[in-house]
Amino acid sequence: MSAASTNSLFGMGNPLLDICAVVDKDFLDKYSLKPNDQILAEAKHKELFEELVKKFKVEYYAGGATQNSIKIAQWMIQEPHKVGTFFGCIGKDKFGEILKQKAEEVHVDAHYYEQDEEPTGTCAACITGDNRSLVANLAAANCYKKDKHLDLEENWKLVEKAKVYYIAGFFLTVSLESILKVAKHASENNKLFCMNLSAPFICQFFKDNLMQVMPYVDVLFGNETEAAAFAKEQDFDTKDIKEIVRKAQALPKDNKKRQRVVVITQGKDETVMAQSDKIETFPVVKTDPKYIVDTNGAGDAFVGGFLSELVQEQPLDQCVKAAHYAANVIIQRAGCSFPEKPDFK
């Protein structure tokens, strides 16, 4: 049994059913997709989902960035079950039932707000080589309501039970007030609130929302492209990753008892972390390219591995080690899936 207790890790975000397929460059070009990107679906992408299912061999996985990370953290921890709690909004439909079933299978304590105005959200993961282009159609995920779910007494009790909180930046497009309520609770009770930059468009177009939450962020995650977009929007005037993490760490913070930790991944290159007064780098686990199946979910798995050790109060270098291990497992499998048990030491 791990040192983590039930419901000690809390996540809230967009539950999506991932529709994954290996596609060709023509398909990306047709819908003007970059090989490695994350975007929200627009009207012009309506046919994309239908064409993907018709034209390519698709696989379905329970997805959504935050849900993936909570799932991976639970898998790393194994016992007890339901260390991870997850909140998000789904539709009353077949895809919603699949998400509920998948959460149960991996022992995550998912409490969905179910509504019937919008169908369960989906995300097209278009794979080419070791790149993945994600197009999210939020649908129901966009309907999460603080007053209809988060504020309910039985749900808020689960929030209070947690010690570590994680919300991906993607949720900033859905319910800023829900994020702020959880973030302030964490800050006031000296608990750990973690967030992810998630995508360049979050740093660019949802910058105001992001910066309203930033004072409460104890651990900030991101990858090199998101970090560059963030630095540009914040006028950091540098493209150097180490400088960017230092400047992100120095942004104003509400809870002065903890200094912010900033963790930036760079694909196969080293991970950079700012903690207290030092900046450290950690090489990733080397993988022969021929074993890489797809990189969809690698970033989510990194965070999941990190959180699995963080919630057990392990030192930060151990958190990074677990993060690298989890990401390495995920890229050798389709979707954000994993073997029955981890062999992480």
Q: What are the extents of the domains in the chain?
A: 9-15+64-118+139-331
Torsion of CA 303, 308, 310, 311, to 10 degrees: 130
State the pTM of this model.
Answer: 0.93
Mean pLDDT of 46-61: 92
> What does the angle CA 172 – CA 95 – CA 37 come to, to the nearest 5 degrees?
45
Mean per-residue pLDDT for 182-199?
Answer: 98
pLDDT above 70 (res 335): no
- Helix runs in the chain, H state only: 25-30, 46-55, 65-77, 94-105, 153-161, 176-188, 200-205, 207-213, 224-233, 241-249, 298-310, 316-330
In whole numbers, what is the pLDDT of the chain averaged over residues? 95
pLDDT of residue 165: 98
Report the pLDDT value the prediction gives residue 188, as an integer from 0 to 100: 98
Task: Using alpha carbons only, give the angle 291, 295, 94 rounded to the nearest 5 degrees.
Answer: 115
Residue 281 has a pLDDT of: 98
Q: Does domain 9-15+64-118+139-331 have CATH number 3.40.1190.20?
A: yes
pLDDT of 336: 67
Mean predicted confidence (pLDDT) in 177-183: 98
- Please check the confidence at residue 1 and state whether its pLDDT lies above 70: no
State in Å, rounded, how far the first CA of the chain is from the last one. Answer: 14
User: How many other β-carbons are positioned within 10 Å of the β-carbon of residue 43?
Assistant: 6
- Report the share of the chain in percent with pLDDT over 70: 99
300 is a catalytic site residue: yes
Is 174 a residue whose pLDDT tops 90? yes
Q: What 8-state DSSP symbol labels residue 313?
A: T
Catalytic residue among 208, 300, 317, 343: 300
Note the pLDDT of residue 131.
86
pLDDT for res 337: 74
pLDDT band, residue 183 (cuts 50/70/90): very high
Tokens (6 digits) for 266:
């760079």
Residue 317: both structure tokens together = 């270098």
| pLDDT beyond 90 at 296 | no
Task: With a cut of 70, say whether residue 27 has pLDDT above it.
Answer: yes
- State yes or no: pLDDT of 2 exceeds 80: no
322: its two tokens? 């677990």
Instruction: Give mean pLDDT, residues 240-251.
Output: 98
Q: At residue 294, does pLDDT exceed 80?
A: no
pLDDT of residue 130: 80
Region of poorest pLDDT, from 47-56, 82-91, 226-235: 47-56
pLDDT, residue 293, reads 79
